[in-house]
Each structure stands twice: as C-alpha cells, then as structure tokens.
Amino acid sequence: MAGIGFPMTITKEQIKDVVLGENDFGHEMRVGRILDPANIKYPFEEYLRAWFKVPIQGGTYVDPVSKKPREFDFRSKILGGSLPSRESRIIHLALECKNLSDDCPIVVCGRPRARGESYHFHIGGEDGERKAHKVAGASSLYKESAFVGKSLLRLKRNSKSILIADNDAEIYDRWSQALASAHDLASEAVNMKSSPRSYAFIMPLVVVPDESLWQVAYHNTGTLEGDPVQVDQCEYYVAKEYSVGIPFIISHIHFVTMKGLEKMLSELANRESFKWDQIFAYSSTVMD
C-alpha cells in the first residue's frame, strides 16, 4: 500500500484541525462550565438561593423505546423548597448539546400558543404520594398566546453556497435524546421520597452556540408575523407522554443558546422567585 502514493502518517496537526473543526466536545465542555455551581449568578441575599448540584456529564441510561443503552450529555438538579415547611422542590434538567456554526443555524417556526398547549406538569405530593399535577392557563410556565415552536429547520449551504433548509436528523436526535433522558429523570422523581412534601419538575433542553438560534413567527392565518429574529431561548411544544409508574406528560422542550442558558440558570438561582412559583404552582388537577 505504501507504494501507490497514499500518505501513511497522520500528523498531530491534522488531528487537531479535525477536532477543532468539529468541536462538539469543546461545545459540551463550555456548557458544563455554565452549569458549574461556582459560575451561577446567585441573588444577593443568601437565604434566597437555590442549591445547584454539580452536573453529571456523560452517564448512560436505557432508552424507554429502543431498550438500548444511550449516553446523555448532562443532567443537573436545582434544589429549592423551604426548611420550615419541610417541603422539597427540585428542578431536573436534561441537557443535550449540539454544536452549530452561526451561518448554519436552527430556525424554529411557530405561532401563538393555543389554550390547550398552555400547561405543564410537576410530580409530587404529600407523605410519599406521587401524582402528576397539571398547572394550566395563567398559572402555567407556558403562557397562552406567547410564541411556541411547532416546526424545526436547519439552514445549510449547498455545493453552490446557496442557503437551503434541511430537516436535520442530528437536531432531531439531540431533541429525542433530551426527551428520553427526561423520561429517566421523571422515573427518578416518582421514586423520590426525601421529605413529607416533595415536588419535581422535569425540563429537557437542547443547548446550541450563541447566534445560532432563530425564530420565525406566524399568525394563525398562516402569514408571517414580521421578520425572523435571533433569540437566545425558544420553547417547542411536544406533549410527550410517559409511563413512569404514573401517567405523566412533558409539554415543552427548550432550545437555548449559551447566553440563554446562563440567563435561565440565573433566574432559577432565586428559589423565592416568580419563576419557581409558576413551576410549582398549586394545582387541583391530577393526571389519572
């Protein structure tokens, strides 16, 4: 083989160029830095702080559909609650990372959120009881009439460098992995019995680089509502049903940039904030 003109030696410079050209792991490591509790922007008053656990990177779980082992990028827990009332509140984050260049971004197309899409569930109860509680309407984290994603496109350049839309299988894979990882976290939440009153919220996320996430809004008539806009966070409606000992639904997945993730964590750092009140709002509706 050495005599037919093919180079036989791969240099360290070539390996470095390929690694940095792809840079998927580098993006994942940068996301991990944002998730590090030491880098969270906490509120000034210490008694208001939520407790961020050190994230878990690269563990495995069994996919609930394929029954095959899969690897997640990150899982993180944010603990709130109140010691006097002995109430535990935990936000579980299931994060998948996708490295994109800003000239080949994700475009999320959507419309105003319908009333039937304005809801979320948290898991919990008193004295060890576990049920899925539905929070809907004005109390929900996901407001009626606000933008909600319904379709995803990945922009790419063809051989003539013309920008075209492509339904990227890699983006769907990250999205589906985040939802599969969330299934595992929901199962964990159902079995959590650490305090007399304990509640858990599961939030799946796909994290992309800054300036690689765009939003295109439609009127309900089907016409565009203004120009496409670059965003740092976008909610996408999935209504994914799970069976984790109890019936349970994850209504939305979040697409966020690095800046969007930093902002989200900063908002959740205050366990007494309105955001926590929304997530764990009282609900008289229980999923049977």
Q: Which of 54, 34, 61 is nearest to 177 (CA)?
A: 61
Q: How far apart are CA 285 and CA 44, in angstroms?
A: 36
Burial 134-148 (b: 16+ CB within 10 A, else e): bbbeeebbbbbeebb
Q: How far apart are CA 231 and CA 107, in angstroms?
A: 10
Q: Are strands 69-71 and 147-157 parallel, antiparallel or unpaired?
A: unpaired
Confidence band for 218, pLDDT divided at 50, 70 and 90: very high
Residue 28 has pLDDT above 80, yes or no: yes
Tell me how many degrees the CA angle 94-100-102 measures, rounded to the nearest 5: 130
Higher pLDDT, 218 or 65: 218
Considering only CA atoms, give the Rg of the chain. Answer: 21
pTM: predicted TM-score of the whole model, two decimal places: 0.88
- Cα 221 from chain centroid? 29
Tell me how many degrees the CA angle 29-34-40 measures, rounded to the nearest 5: 155
- In eight-state DSSP terms, residue 187 is H
Q: How far apart are CA 120 and CA 138, in angstroms?
A: 11
Least confident of 55-64, 131-140, 258-267: 55-64
Confidence band for 129, pLDDT divided at 50, 70 and 90: confident
Across all residues in the chain, what is the average pLDDT?
A: 87
Mean pLDDT of 182-186: 92
Maximum Cα–Cα distance for the chain, whole Å? 78
How far CA 32 is from CA of 26, 43, 63, 77, 116, in Å, comes to 10, 21, 23, 13, 35
Q: Residue 256: CB partners within 8 Å, gap ≥ 6?
A: 205, 206, 207, 208, 213, 232, 233, 234, 264
